[in-house]
Structure 1
Amino acid sequence: MSYVGIGCKIPQAALVAALMLNFSAAAYALEKVRILIPVRAIDEAFSPFVVAKEKGYFDAEGYDVSLLAVGGSNESALQVSAGNAEVGAASPGEAIVGIQSGKLNIRYYYDLYYANIWSVAVLPDSPIKTLADLKDKKLGVQSMGSAGTTFAKAFVKEAGLDPAKDISFLPIGLGAQAITSVRQKFVDGVIFWDAALAKLAFSGLKLREIPASDLLRTLPDVGLLARNDTIEKNPKMLVGIARAVAKGYDYSMANPEAAVLITWKNYPESRSKNPDAAEALKEGIAVNQGRLAIWTSEKIGGKHGFFVEADWQHLLQFLKDQAVVPVAPAADKVFTNQFIDQINTYDRAAVVTEAKKEDLSKLH
């Protein structure tokens, strides 16, 4: 017998088992990581993150991940820079402004969107036909922390307007509030991302997008960013998080129906309000696949997350030309490809096989 303390007898085998259990729990404790998602409510457009959590891809890398919705890309970049989250997904507008000025201590390390998701949209009978027609008009945005404000200013600047004087913004949220704001003409139009416009259309508010140049439509957009000291001191975590997200993307592409149902399971408020279950799922898949279509490019050679330097140089020059930044920052201050090869070291075929074998009956 072994003795612990006064008058306390514990069998030797039980003591060893208890010690081993405690050691095992400590050895396999997951490191907590906060990922900021730049929308008020996580939905099908972000299924790779939700799938990565649901299927245990983050856990397999050693991380207990919390997905936190915030008020937009600008807020995501600010909060990561302030140390209030380890990783954030964000459009590069205000992030680049902050990097250039030295106010934000962040850098992108994994690319997500290879095309711009933002569009100005108006009611079908609106007299606004071109971006130049936005002079003295008011645009609705999800929130003032949305990257839509940055892109809208660049859009109207290219159209020959002064973004400081010729346009204003009103935060109108999403869903019913946004629909009311547009229908009651509290705003003249909206600057929203693709998935939000699709959801408004499914809710009965069909809008007409204002044509934009190829230059605007092909600008790179959302990526994952982290603080520079995190990139330097904790690359293992950044690689693991991005690898799990990459797996979530592969899964979502291999089985969109499962990806949507997993998202709805974890975020029931994102479920389509269409009472016809089959039609609702079709809507969810349309949103999901519409967004995931820009998660890849023929330019990246199959390497998830790879930054195409020429495209980002194009974006940096565009922001300078539109006076969003006074001087374009050096590309290596904005993004790094240093982790991409490591991130892509996993069995992609195994993920696809797992996705295709998913029992959908357990997700409905």
Structure 2
Amino acid sequence: MFIHKVATGARLRLVGMLIAGAFASLAAQAADTVTVGLAIPLTVDSGGVYGLGNELGFFKEEGIEVKTVVFQGAGAMLPQVAARKVTIGLPLPEPVLASYETGKTPLPVRYFYNAIPLNEIELAVLADSPIHSIADLKGKKIGVGALTWGTIPATRALLRQQGLTAGKDVDIVGVGVLGSGFLALKEKRVDALNFNSSWHAMLELSGTPLRRLPYPDTFRDMNSNGFVAHQDTLREQPQLLARFGRAYTKALIACEANPKLCVESFWRLQPESRPKTGDAAKQLDEAVFLVKRRMNRTLRNADGSLREFGKFNLPVIRDFVEAMYKSGEFNTANIPVDQIFDNSLVPEFAKFDVAQVQARAKAAQ
């Protein structure tokens, strides 16, 4: 059970002011534990943010301690957020949107930070595969990490747009994450993988060339994972979420500025993830490549300018909902996107000096 500790009350505020002012009052508070529920395991490009955020003190400066818990997909993780057993989750949008379908009970969660602004989910096949389009998947098998994954509804919708029905024309099967899924594709037990772009890049770096199947614009432009919290947490403790989002954003900027340190911090955070054999220098270079790739997609617009940190593109999400409805995946298009995706904390995420964070990261060893 998650327990949130924060010092409040007039007496503490008075003591804080008497001793050293408002800043000392904040520092005097016990660190708030923020438990982040993940639908898939951390990898070097996603986990370094937490590692470097800890090592450079970004989370500590915001008065929070972050713990991560991995669940078997969004279907297993979201009920934990809804029950407030974890503070924050990082799911794809589809399961939350689907809970607002007619006849269902909406999940009591709200997105407050757009962590992956573009669709990271891909359909990838071996480079020499005869499959060149989604329509070519007829009679084939698509591998996903687990059948609880939140990616599956959009994949079914993509198939329906091409006249294919999952379970009839195409099989979606669980193959496990990372290495077990990679092996399933290489051994041709599945014909395509429905993993994120970073995982596919990892498979390519290991020596297996891939080809991505083209997505329609509506699906390609839709954001992937975002941070959610219970609606009561957003209402009652917005500054807790703002502090987390700001620290997380600083860590993203730091990872972009010093990707090598970002990699090394993740390997220190999860020592079992560091490769045990092979060319260490080559492995470090490959890991740095993955971090650079992810940070660029997360932080930068197409022209290289910084995105507005954590902001959701509501018109794009509305187009996605309409496409899911027309594909038969949602039973209504009347889903309150503005209520589900909240941009109210976005100004808080940017309340720091980007250049200062970049300099701090570059100077760190």
- TM-score, structure 2 length as denominator? 0.85
Q: Is the 8 A contact 2:89 2:227 kept in 1?
A: yes
Q: Let me know the Cα RMSD of the aligned residues.
A: 2.5
Structure 1 residues 199-238: aligned runs within 5 Å = 199-238=202-241
Alignment match, 1:197: 200
Structure 1 residues 60-99: aligned runs within 5 Å = 60-99=61-100
Alignment match, 1:124: 127
Q: For residues 53 and 74 of structure 1, do their structure 2 counterparts lie closer, same or farther at Cα, with a shift above 3 Å needed?
A: farther
Please give the secondary structure, in 2, of the residue aligned with 1:119.
Answer: coil
Distance in 2 of aligned mates of 1:240 and 1:257: 26
Which of 231, 238, 248 is residue 251 of structure 2 equivalent to?
Answer: 248
Report the alpha carbon displacement of residue 55 of structure 1 after superposing the two structures with TM.
Answer: 2.1
Alignment match, 1:53: 54
Report the alpha carbon displacement of residue 164 of structure 1 after superposing the two structures with TM.
Answer: 4.9
Alignment match, 1:289: 292
Q: For residues 88 and 99 of structure 1, do their structure 2 counterparts lie closer, same or farther at Cα, with a shift above 3 Å needed?
A: farther
Count of aligned residue pairs for this structure pair:
337
Unaligned runs of 5+ in 1: 1-19, 360-364
Q: Is the 8 A contact 1:81 1:106 kept in 2?
A: yes
Unaligned runs of 5+ in 2: 1-18, 20-24
Distance in 2 of aligned mates of 1:164 and 1:171: 13
Report the alpha carbon displacement of residue 194 of structure 1 after superposing the two structures with TM.
Answer: 0.7
Does residue 317 in structure 1 map to residue 319 in structure 2?
no
- TM-score, structure 1 length as denominator? 0.85
Q: Is the 8 A contact 1:74 1:146 kept in 2?
A: yes
Report the alpha carbon displacement of residue 284 of structure 1 after superposing the two structures with TM.
Answer: 0.6
Q: For residues 38 and 288 of structure 1, do their structure 2 counterparts lie closer, same or farther at Cα, with a shift above 3 Å needed?
A: farther
Distance in 2 of aligned mates of 1:195 and 1:349: 27
Distance in 2 of aligned mates of 1:318 and 1:156: 12
Distance in 1 of aligned mates of 2:226 and 2:188: 33
Q: Is the 8 A contact 1:39 1:71 kept in 2?
A: yes
Q: Is the 8 A contact 1:43 1:267 kept in 2?
A: no
Does residue 264 in structure 1 map to residue 267 in structure 2?
yes
Q: Is the 8 A contact 1:40 1:71 kept in 2?
A: no
Please give the secondary structure, in 2, of the residue aligned with 1:102.
Answer: coil
In terms of Rg, which structure is larger?
Answer: 1
Structure 1 residues 117-196: aligned runs within 5 Å = 117-196=120-199
Q: Is the 8 A contact 1:99 1:106 kept in 2?
A: no
Please give the secondary structure, in 2, of the residue aligned with 1:324.
Answer: coil
Distance in 2 of aligned mates of 1:134 and 1:198: 21
Report the alpha carbon displacement of residue 49 of structure 1 after superposing the two structures with TM.
Answer: 2.8
Q: Is the 8 A contact 1:110 1:340 kept in 2?
A: yes
Corresponding letter in the other structure for 1:109: F
Corresponding letter in the other structure for 1:90: P
Report the alpha carbon displacement of residue 297 of structure 1 after superposing the two structures with TM.
Answer: 5.1
Report the alpha carbon displacement of residue 116 of structure 1 after superposing the two structures with TM.
Answer: 0.7
Q: Is the 8 A contact 2:51 2:268 kept in 1?
A: no
Corresponding letter in the other structure for 2:252: Y
